[in-house]
Amino acid sequence: MNDPETAGAGSLSRRTFLKGLGTSAVAAVAAQTTAVAAELEKVNAEKIVGPGPVPVTLNVNGRKLKLQLEPRVTLLDALRNYSSLTGAKEGCDRAACGACTVLLDDTPIYSCQKLAVEAQGREITTVEGLAKGDKLSKVQQAFIEKDALQCGYCTPGFLISVTALLKQNPHPTADEVKHACAGNLCRCGTHPHILQAVFEAAGVKATSKTEVIHV
Amino acid sequence: MSSWPAETKYISHPTLRVDAVPKVTGRARYSSDTQANGWLYGMILRSKWPAAKILSVNLDKARQIPGIKAAVVARDGTFTVRFYGEEIAAVAGSTRQACLDALRAIEVKAEPRNEFAVNENEARKDDAPRVWEGRSNVAPGRSREHGNVDQAFGECAAIIEGFYTTPVQIHNPMETHGNTVSWTDEGVTAWSSTQGISSVRDGLAGALQLDQSKVRVITDFMGGGFGAKFGAGAEGALAAQLSREAKAPVRLMLTRFDQALAVGNRPSSFQRIKIGAKADGTLHAFEAENYGTAGIGAGADSGGGGGGADIPMPYLYPVPNSRVKQSHVAINAGSARAFRAPGNPPASYGMESAMDDLAVKLGMDPLEFRLKNDPNEVRQREYAIGAEKFDWKAKYQKPGSSSGPVKTGIGCAGAAWPAGGPSRSTQGEAQINPDGSVEFRLGVQDIGTGTKTVIAVVAAEMLGLKPEQITVKVGDTNFPPGPGSGGSTTCASVSPTVYDICQRGLQQLQKQTGIADARGKNWLAACKKLGVTPLVVHGNWIEGLSNRPAYGVQFAEVAVDTETGLVTVKKVVAVHDCGLIIDTLTLESQINGGVIMGMGYALYEERVMDDLSGVVLNPNFETYKLPGIADVPEIEIVLLNMPERGVIGIGEPATVPTAAAIGNAVANAIGVRVGSLPITPSKVLAALGKVPPAAIT
């Protein structure tokens, strides 16, 4: 249970379970009565947040972002519309296109499916955080050199997915790259160049097979 | 007449996209990223009925939601809606959540019509519910006859008849349609996700009854259009009205759902084709009847890119005796709009499928059959080059003859795009500064094709500078006007214009500074001599540097699992020409994109309407499937560089033949024709007789 996501989900379901029990049912479990009652008291004492705006602090690209947000505001909404970080894009708002992908610690997630309040205390990296000052990351540089973008709207999402992949797996196979990018859609059809760019960023020379015949 | 330089440093070489850095760093501000001072969110309430009379729309409760600053109705009084998703009202508020709450609070009194038609095969029946009162759902399109068709069929050695259908395809650019509109006493400014800043300006001015000079449209970056984003649209006018009422800028971007319902699609086609050839393989007789739906829109003609349901028939191949009847069917669904090479991909699918089926009947290799009947010299050459690259001769087997449950097959198809030429009214200007910096300003927009890069490449070539020394500004109606980005026209429009600006700039520099040739190493010295006043030169599109049309051929290799019906595209060889190539790198990107979009059309994409409820069943990406990176085959590209033809656009031809080539490869693999796009596993299994065929789709 080291994964904070799993731990969070576990404690939530226990709390829900406890809340769902009637008092008499809880009392019937004689051996644990005291412990359970104490926990119930703790749960009931928790302050319900919302529905109005609450203070939220997000760690984005190494900086603290202090915002007042309704708890139902997603991380994507918070970034794009409550700060000037519009790099992560909205393409579908329902976890289907990947344009909103950001890193939560080292894991790429769809920021449209994460409430901003839930992302507190984690390191969030958006496309704006990939370069160090003016120095582009290897992945960004490779995307430029291989022209792995056309309209560029899906590009922030792909860059984040690829960055996460190469951090975990610096020398991926083509299938591993495809798996890592399976959650990102591109309508311009830039995929072959994205594949080339990932290899280039991984230090493998990727040359175009395109032939120009001068007529 | 002007001509392009024979020796080039940048033109016809790979140049990195000049706006790539802002795109990879997140600094690029797309229309949907606009954060105008004090901006509000805008959202649209849409009809949940496929057909209804709207009696009243009460916005009072919506206006009371905290944070809501404006609410407007789409139309005054009682009105009729004719498709699920038609605009009813719109709200603007300080948060997205407030707008969502407000949409729920709008009270709509409506008389839903229980009868409606969302299926073109039902809608064309005589007793079908009428989409437009008092008007038949079926309207005739073009009908044409050449030669003596009936007699000619009697003279044919082989005849086939086929029924080939293509679905309604949704554009689905990654950035949805929309604008941020600010309406103040000075006028209207719109940051629009558009392919045509000028058409948005004119559309807004018309809808708002403002002088065109009072409307400014800006498009710095936009996330794709593919033909669906011309004009201001209902969403643009609603955003403007909300802005006026709220006295604040309103950002109204459509949701993905909105995008699938109301702002365009490619019409369907149902093509019954009869085609015959003489014993030597010469095409002799052709007869076709086609119908399709453009939704409630009744436009017929798609030749000029209008988005109607008619298609060019017979496609590519001249047949001396031909009879073509077309009609279009209105249904209760959102209107079609131009979609990348309007009319051509469906025409290509129908004709090229029929060509292969006839080749099989004649016992001819389908490539030989094409070479026999295609009079176009460029395509002849492209077929020869592509066949060698693809190894056609070694790979071709008789249909269905590959062994085992996973069968491989190959197919090919040709492309045409009759437009692709320039807009002759294109203008632009350059400001040459005394410090040597230079800025080009053209009222066009870069929709992801690389227009900014094209401008920089041509300017660098003509001025003897490097592309990175050229500042390019596009996407602003305050700049000299250029065309909308449609029909593959932008490249052929801007390249000669930039050429002209450069020539005039160099002449003027010579006149003002006395330096005979200000290019390259003399550039800085010449600019310095301007003193303190920059030189601004205006230029126009000029003759002799651009052209049309473009051609192209594609070859596809597929593997078909005959137990699951799944089609995997293994390889595509794409051979294309576009006259003088400007940038080989961005060109390669566009051809990849055309092939991949064509592959989606072949295998995955289809808008599905529910006959009973009249709704679009797949208005989002989890149910409307686009090709993903794992689906994409190896794509090998061969580019024919033909400088003497001048510059021609490539966006459309690259997507025309892909679906037909894949469809032919599937038929070659399994030995039977799947005559309906998309070629889904269930259709493959039905064609193989392993499952019962679905009702007509």
Closest-approach residue (CA) in chain A for B573 = A210
Please check whether residue B24 touches A, CB under 8 A: yes
pLDDT band at A40 (very low <50, low <70, confident <90, very high): confident
Q: In angstroms, what separates the C-alpha of A142 from chain B's closest C-alpha?
A: 10
Strands B553-561 and B406-414: antiparallel
Closest-approach residue (CA) in chain B for A135 = B25
Contact B660, B574 (CB under 8 A): no
Neighbour order of strands in the sheet with B87-93: B68-73, B87-93, B40-46, B250-253, B178-184, B187-192, B215-218
pLDDT band at B446 (very low <50, low <70, confident <90, very high): very high
Instruction: Report the C-alpha gap between B467 and B20 in whole angstroms.
Output: 13
Q: What angle do CA A183, A188, A189 make, to 5 degrees?
A: 65
Please check whether residue B376 touches A, CB under 8 A: no
**Token representation of residue B148:** 């003596």
ipTM of the complex: 0.97
Q: Which of residues 308-337 of B touch A (CB under 8 A)?
A: none
Q: Which own/partner contact pairs does A145-148 have at CB distance under 8 Å and 24+ positions apart?
A: A145/A197, A145/A200, A145/B16, A146/A193, A146/A194, A146/A196, A146/A197, A146/A200, A146/A206, A147/A190, A147/A193, A147/B16, A147/B17, A147/B20, A147/B585, A147/B586, A147/B588, A147/B589, A148/A190, A148/A193, A148/A194, A148/A196, A148/A197
CA terminus-to-terminus distance, chain A: 65
**How many Å is the Cα radius of gyration of chain A?**
22
Helix residue ranges, H only, B171-232: 197-208
A179 and B630 within 8 Å at the Cβ level: the answer is yes
pTM for this structure? 0.94
Q: How far is CA B225 from CA A151, B222, B339, B565, B629, in A?
A: 9, 8, 9, 32, 20
Classify burial at A8, counting beta carbons within 10 Å of its beta carbon; exposed 0-12, middle 13-18, buried 19 or more.
exposed
Task: Give the residue range(s) of CATH 3.30.365.10 domains in chain B.
Answer: 20-28+422-540, 269-419+548-687
DSSP B467: G
Please check whether residue B592 touches A, CB under 8 A: yes
Q: How many CB pairs under 8 A join A and B?
A: 210
Strands B283-292 and B321-329: parallel
DSSP B417: B
Helix residue ranges, H only, B51-174: 60-63, 96-105, 120-123, 149-154
Q: What angle do CA B497, B502, B503 make, to 5 degrees?
A: 100
Please check whether residue B252 touches A, CB under 8 A: no
Task: Give the residue range(s) of CATH 3.90.1170.50 domains in chain B.
Answer: 34-114+177-253
Q: In angstroms, what separates the C-alpha of B363 from chain A's closest C-alpha?
A: 33
Closest-approach residue (CA) in chain B for A73 = B97
Residues of A within 8 A of B568 (CB-CB) are none
Instruction: Report the C-alpha gap between B529 and B227 in whole angstroms.
Output: 46
Instruction: Please state which CATH class domain B269-419+548-687 belongs to.
Output: alpha beta
Q: Which of A182, A187, A188 comes nearest B629 by C-beta? A: A182
User: Could you tell me which CATH number the domain at B20-28+422-540 has?
Assistant: 3.30.365.10
Percent of chain B whose predicted confidence (pLDDT) is above 70:
98
Closest-approach residue (CA) in chain A for B586 = A147
Instruction: Report the C-alpha gap between B120 and B298 in whole angstroms.
Output: 13
Q: In angstroms, what separates the C-alpha of B265 from chain A's closest C-alpha?
A: 15
| pLDDT 10s digits, B117-168 | 999 999 999 999 999 988 899 987 778 999 999 999 999 999 999 999 999 9
B629 and A195 within 8 Å at the Cβ level: the answer is yes
Please check whether residue B646 touches A, CB under 8 A: no
Please check whether residue B393 touches A, CB under 8 A: no
**Token representation of residue B76:** 């005054």
Q: In angstroms, what separates the C-alpha of A203 from chain B's closest C-alpha?
A: 19
Q: How far is CA B264 from CA B71, B191, B258, B260, B336, in A?
A: 25, 20, 10, 8, 5
Question: Poorest-confidence range of A129-133, B570-574, B642-646, B689-693?
Answer: B689-693
Cβ neighbors of B663 (< 8 A, separation 6 or more) are B349, B352, B353, B411, B602, B674, B677, B679
Res B308: pLDDT = 82
For residue B502, pLDDT beyond 50: yes
Residues of B within 8 A of A209 (CB-CB) are 636-637
B223 and A153 within 8 Å at the Cβ level: the answer is yes
Residues of A within 8 A of B468 (CB-CB) are none
Residues of A within 8 A of B222 (CB-CB) are 151
| pLDDT 10s digits, B457-480 | 999 999 999 999 999 999 999 999
Contact B80, B49 (CB under 8 A): no
Amino acid at B437: S
Contact B668, B409 (CB under 8 A): yes
Contact B638, B580 (CB under 8 A): no
**Token representation of residue B428:** 């632009």
| Mean pLDDT across B72-101 | 97
Contact B697, B676 (CB under 8 A): yes
Instruction: Report the C-alpha gap between B205 and B215 in whole angstroms.
Output: 6
**Token representation of residue B464:** 């003897």
For residue A1, pLDDT beyond 50: no
Instruction: Report the C-alpha gap between B110 and B113 in whole angstroms.
Output: 9
Q: In angstroms, what separates the C-alpha of A209 from chain B's closest C-alpha?
A: 6
pLDDT band at A32 (very low <50, low <70, confident <90, very high): low
Cβ neighbors of B556 (< 8 A, separation 6 or more) are B410, B411, B412, B569, B571, B572, B633, B658, B661, B662, B664, B665
Q: Which of B20, B635, B642 comes nearest A144 by C-beta? A: B20
| pLDDT 10s digits, B178-220 | 999 999 999 999 999 999 999 999 999 999 999 999 999 999 9
Instruction: Please state which CATH class domain B34-114+177-253 belongs to.
Output: alpha beta
| pLDDT 10s digits, B6-40 | 999 999 999 999 999 999 999 999 999 999 999 99
Contact B84, B47 (CB under 8 A): yes
Helix residue ranges, H only, B604-695: 658-670, 681-687
Residues of A within 8 A of B381 (CB-CB) are 215
Q: How far is CA B233 from CA B40, B84, B229, B249, B668, in A?
A: 19, 17, 9, 18, 44
Q: Where are the beta strands (DSSP E) in B147-236?
A: 158-166, 178-184, 187-192, 215-218
**Token representation of residue B2:** 């002007």
